[in-house]
Structure 1
Amino acid sequence: MRIYADKLADQLNRQLHSVYLLLGNEPLLIQESHSAIKAKAKTVGFEEHHRFTLDNSINWNEVYDCCQALSLFSARQIIELEIPEAGVNAAHSKELVALSASLHPDILLIIIGSKLTKAQENAKWFKTYNTQGCWVSCLTPDIQRLPQFVQARCNALGLRADIEARQMLAQWHEGNLFALSQSLEKLALLYPDGELTLVRLEESLSRHNHFTPFHWIDALLAGKAKRAQRILRQLEAESVEPVILIRTIQKELMQLLKLQLELKSAPAGQVFDKYRIWQSKRPLYNSALSRLSISAIQQGLQLLAQCELLSKTQYETSPWPTLHQLSLELCQPSIDLGVQVN
């Protein structure tokens, strides 16, 4: 069973499952979900706690011993298994499947890890535990869902934010939910009446948004010029190395060029499958491919080459203005719109 992290509290009020999978890329949501599960478990007698990491040093015998150490006087036990960034290898996958048969009502298993790929979701170990327990999705909300997330956090703290205030809170804290949580707690203390307006936010807060080159790429693919420029200015202010952005956008432009060429003779779904483009990313690529012709992509690559030359040879000339120019041009429709993608 899959639920989102903001629904976990309601689920825990109804039932405590024997297995929880806390998976995602948002540390705040994983931390809060973890704390909520442990707090609920403590109320029903889960007092002992064991934590293991699925690396080469894990001793599976110790894990199994936790499941077998039962007596009339033993406490109920929580076993935590942390999945490293490298993921679950074949040996660990086999052990996880075997471990599922050793679980019983006095064991609560919590598996913590980052976002899984489709292939990992199809693994036997994951399907086994997803059937037995609850998969809590701890993904960072995107910019479209972030105002709704802000609203939910405000409600929990008794804060009332109007539409403009919610939008500002979302923009100022995108990619940094820890800072958002701290800001809302600060606002709750500053304004006991709970009313949040633009004026109050500007008086009380500073920007805490955190962008990565991938936020910029997504904005470029979607053709959102203002957002792309805002992200690029933030990256420049944070002294991100231009070569990182150059390499990132170069990879995307080369992929767009290949896609445009192949779309002349094959349907979009087949081409996207060939290049392993995630379903969640396909609308962004659809937008870019419908907007940019082959010649426009080639011109973008030429401008990118100029930018790289500046960054490596002309140390007295900043490459940032060229990056800003590239950002604007990639968000504009080309005269020849190229292949239309449905």
Structure 2
Amino acid sequence: MLDALAEPEQARLAPIYLLCGDEPFQLGSAADAVRCCARAQGYTERKVLFAGRDFDWQQLATEQDSLSLFAEKKLIDLRLPTGKPGDAGGRALRAFAERPVEDTLLLITAGKLDRNQLRTRWVTALEEAGVLVQIWPVKHGELPGWLRRHMQARGLQPDAEAVALLAERVEGNLLAADQAVEKLLLLNGPGPVDAAAVRASVADSARFDVFDMVDTALAGEASRALRMVFGLLEEGVEAVVISWALGRAVREILDMAMAVARGQPVEAVMAGARVWDSRRTAVRAALTRHRAGYWGGLLQRADRLEFMVKGMAAGNKRDELVQLVCAMAGQRPLPASFTAPG
């Protein structure tokens, strides 16, 4: 259904797109395709609305009726994770579908809609006025073909053994598959890819486990995060890599915490920051656990750790690393007498 958007500047855009499904990578890719096409055709103003439990559906009508202050065309990017807008939301969505506004495009991304939800009046109204796209998970037998096409689209030319090995490695996780493709591009550049290149990439996968450790800390699981830190160090991952990942996460959380402090809802802030669904529980926990001032203090600590691991400041970098992870997880600082293993 979205193949028509392959040439963004020439594609004919519908006034409404309802994308639904529980496969986050494909859902995100489909939404990106609509956004890219809209941007190419002059929809330069974008308003993100997160329709959570306490969402005021009057905001949708307000955006529909308001003239754009900065551009001639506007994209309303509505996130509906549960796929259940309630009575007020259903009425608002039907009203939008009944009188779509010229030069205003409504993009709705929702979780999986079951058979009964697909028959509701708001869904049928949106489908009649625009386009409904259901995103289905890639079946096990279809994964090698999907991987081959995805790699080719990124400029890679994999042989059959490379595709089979990568399919076995990612086990149906398309986000992991996309990350693996990005890594192959980073290590080898575009061109032919054989099984040896995939094996070499997989062998270096410990660096990507750093991000799991960061999210574990953000979720508040200090003990588990520390075990992961020590495991990474034992596997040979350099402290500078771990320090970089922690500092990056603290900066991201600080930016979002400042937006929350300005009165924006947490869910809307995460949507605007394009936080993956798989990370939202951890990021939400971090944002609700501490305010912006706390994360500002942690940023100074992360910067100090970075100086230590680069040899630009004195101190015990392993102890400082432990203290930062504990603080990110919301735990009290460890006693000065504590010494990290190793």
- Give the alignment's TM-score, normalised by structure 1: 0.53
* Partner secondary structure for residue 85 of structure 1: coil
Show the counterpart of 1:170. 167
Alignment correspondent of 1:10: 6
Unpaired runs of at least 5, structure 1: 209-342
Moved more, 172-181 or 120-129: 172-181
Structure-1 separation of matches of 2:154 and 2:199: 20
Q: Aligned with 1:14: secondary structure?
A: coil
1:115 and 1:71 map into 2 onto residues whose CA distance is 32
Q: In the alignment, is residue 134 of structure 1 matched against residue 98 of structure 2? A: no
1:22–1:30: 8 Å Cα contact kept in structure 2? yes
Distance 1:8 1:22, change over 3 A: farther
Equivalent position to 2:87, from 87, 90, 114: 90
CA distance, structure 2, for counterparts of residue 122 and residue 197 of structure 1? 47
| Equivalence for 2:178 | 181
Any gaps of 5 or more consecutive residues in structure 2? Answer: 207-342
For residues 8 and 143 of structure 1, do their structure 2 counterparts lie closer, same or farther at Cα, with a shift above 3 Å needed?
farther
For 2:76 and 2:51, the matched residues in 1 are separated by 13
Q: Distance in 2 between matches of 1:91 and 1:30?
A: 25
**In the TM superposition, what is the alpha-carbon distance from 1:113 to its structure 2 partner?**
0.8
What is the aligned partner in structure 2 of residue 283 from structure 1?
none
Q: Structure 2 length as normaliser, TM-score?
A: 0.53
The equivalent of 2:146 in structure 1 is 149
Distance verdict in 2 for CA 1:192–1:100, change over 3 Å? closer
Kindly provide the amino acid, as one letter, of the partner of residue 136 in structure 2.
L
Of 99, 102, 107, which aligns to 1:105?
102
Counterpart secondary structure, 2:85: coil
Check if 1:43 corresponds to 2:43.
no
Q: What letter is aligned with 1:133?
A: G
Is 1:16–1:41's contact at 8 Å kept on the other side of the alignment?
Answer: yes
> Is the contact made by 2:21 and 2:113 (CA closer than 8 Å) also made in structure 1?
yes
In the alignment, the residues of structure 2 paired with residue 198 and residue 47 of structure 1 have an alpha-carbon distance, to the nearest angstrom, of 43
Which one of the candidate residues 119, 123, 127 is aligned to 1:122?
119
Which one-letter code corresponds to 2:6 in the other structure? D
Q: Is the 8 A contact 2:17 2:108 kept in 1?
A: yes
Query: For residues 150 and 106 of structure 1, do their structure 2 counterparts lie closer, same or farther at Cα, with a shift above 3 Å needed?
Result: same
Over alpha carbons, which structure has the higher Rg?
A: 1
Paired-residue identity, %: 27
* Deviation, structure 1 residue 61: 2.6
One-letter amino acid matched to 2:163: R
Report the Cα distance in structure 2 between the residues aligned to 1:11 and 1:142, rounded to whole angstroms: 28
Q: Superposition pairs for residues 1-342 of structure 1, below 5 Å?
A: 3=1, 7=3, 9-10=5-6, 12=8, 13-70=10-67, 75-85=72-82, 87-192=84-189, 194-206=191-203
Secondary structure (helix, strand or coil) at the match of 2:140 reads coil
Letter of the 1:150 partner, please give it.
Answer: L
Could you tell me which amino acid in structure 2 is paired with residue 42 of structure 1? R
Residue deviations 1:282-323 (CA, integer Å, cap 9, x gap): xxxxxxxxxxxxxxxxxxxxxxxxxxxxxxxxxxxxxxxxxx
Q: CA deviation at 1:150?
A: 0.3
Aligned pair in 2 of structure 1 residues 183, 55: CA closer, same or farther (>3 Å)?
closer
Q: Deviations over 1:51-105 (max 9, x none)?
A: 2233342223322121222389853211122213262323322221122123122
Say how many residue pairs are matched.
204
Deviations 1:9-38 (CA, angstroms, capped at 9, x unpaired):
427553222111121112222222222322
Aligned equivalents of 1:105, 1:195: Cα separation in 2 = 46
Provide the alpha-carbon RMSD of the alignment: 2.6
SS at match of 1:144: helix
